[in-house]
Amino acid sequence: MEHTSTLNISTSTTSVLPEMNTTFSNDFLPAYTLAITGTSCCLSIFGAIFIAVTYCLLREIRNFPRKLLLYLTFADLLNASGNLMGTIRYALSKEGDKFRNNSKTIHSYANRSEVCIIQSFITTFSSIASFFWTVVIAVYIFTAVVYSSHVFKSVKAECIYHLLSWGIPGVIATTAVALKVLGEDNAMVTASWCWIRSDLEPPVMTSIWMVLAGKGWEILCYLTTMTLYCLLKLTLWKRRTVHFRSLNNEFREEDNNFMFVWFVLYLLRFWGTARFVLSLTAISTNSENIGLTQFVLLNMQGIGDSSQAFWNFIIFCLCDKTVRNGIMGRCQNGSEQTPLISPIDDTDARRSRQ
């Protein structure tokens, strides 16, 4: 059966996505795909800012887990900003028609784009950093609750967290730039943003770099956080309690919401991981079902990969009674009675290190 390519990816790449004989056949990325991706990015940016603001406003929520969440939020803010940058670049490109209809033009134009490379660097760095901070949070909560250990909240430990969570992603992203592997991936495993070039030679290098620059760390994050949170849940069950606070009074009751971080990560990132797996097998399966599946997953990935900070905002702000009451109280009382930002004094600093 003859196919006309929706994604029109050269057969020399590691992924061939066949044409769907549906209404999608004339559009590489329809306007609504760009719209939902851009909206998810904007919501995530809003959520990240709100999480940071509440940390500054409300002294009562400041503890070490919340500080780690702030670092994770910054990584997610960078990621959402990079995805938004890539979506705008795609939408405003003067070569829009060629992007949709000519893969050779995609390679010759997009791979020269400095904006594409800069955006790829931002999203590669921030995505890996987000995975690292997610694991750091899981490790800290597990040790603090199960062993009541304070070792993992010391100044030395925090410095190590920063060194690993920002340093390793920085080295990987910088190496990718130096080796010129960042660029247009023709929506192989992304939505409307750039990442690893799909025209690397030999073709297998594209898949290898996708593992090194994101997917490998993502899957490792899945396995690590799932294992730790399952063990944590088992510990809580054995000790006949459901609250972290009953085992470590550093935690607030609402800090149990951290149990949902890994689950939300899975739900949001599953779509991109599924597309990555399908891209590795599409060349041998060459069926219309793969094309339709890829298109649905592409739209879901546009939402999921860009919205982690927004869902963290829902979990840690809207679903946190202390945050809700604190914000409502400040709105009701007015700025004349309550300072806009509670100072982070020495007492708060000492408490976070204990």
User: For 95-135, what is each residue's pLDDT tens digit?
Assistant: 555 544 554 444 444 444 788 899 999 999 999 999 999 99
* Alpha carbon of residue 165 to chain centroid: 14
What gap in Å lies between CA 59 and CA 56, rounded to an integer? 7
Query: pLDDT tens for residues 36-89?
Result: 999 999 999 999 999 999 999 999 999 999 999 999 999 999 999 999 999 998
What gap in Å lies between CA 305 and CA 345, rounded to an integer? 36
Length, in residues, of the chain? 354
Total Cβ atoms within 10 A of residue 133: 25
CB crowding 98-126: b at 16 or more within 10 Å, else e? bbbeebeebbebbbebeebbbbbbbbbbb
Minimum mean pLDDT range among 91-100, 150-159, 177-186, 318-327: 91-100
Tokens of 96: 């829009």
**If pLDDT is split at 50, 70 and 90, which confidence band does 140 have?**
very high
Going from N- to C-terminal start, the domains of the chain cover: 31-353
pLDDT for the residue 344: 53
Maximum CA extent, the chain: 73
Q: How many CA atoms lie within 13 A of 305 on its CB side?
A: 34
Do 192 and 85 contact (CB within 8 A), yes or no?
A: no
What gap in Å lies between CA 178 and CA 171, rounded to an integer? 10
Query: pLDDT tens for residues 295-321?
Result: 888 889 999 999 999 999 999 999 999
**If pLDDT is split at 50, 70 and 90, which confidence band does 4 have?**
very low
Quick one: average pLDDT of 253-277?
A: 89
What CATH architecture is 31-353? Up-down Bundle (1.20)
Placement of tokens 């997009």 in the chain: 110
Minimum mean pLDDT range among 93-107, 212-226, 247-261, 289-303: 93-107
Tokens of 255: 């800090």
3-state percent breakdown (helix, strand, coil) of the chain, nearest 5: 70, 0, 25
Tokens of 216: 């490998």
pLDDT for 20 beyond 80: no
Beta bridge mates, 196: 182
Do 320 and 61 contact (CB within 8 A), yes or no?
A: yes
Residue 263 three-state SS: helix
Quick one: average pLDDT of 261-286?
A: 80
Tokens of 212: 């090194």
Q: What is the DSSP string of 209-225?
A: HHIIIIIHHHHHHHHHH
pLDDT for the residue 341: 52
pLDDT for the residue 53: 95
What gap in Å lies between CA 130 and CA 70, rounded to an integer? 11
Better pLDDT: 26 or 328: 328
pLDDT for 220 beyond 70: yes
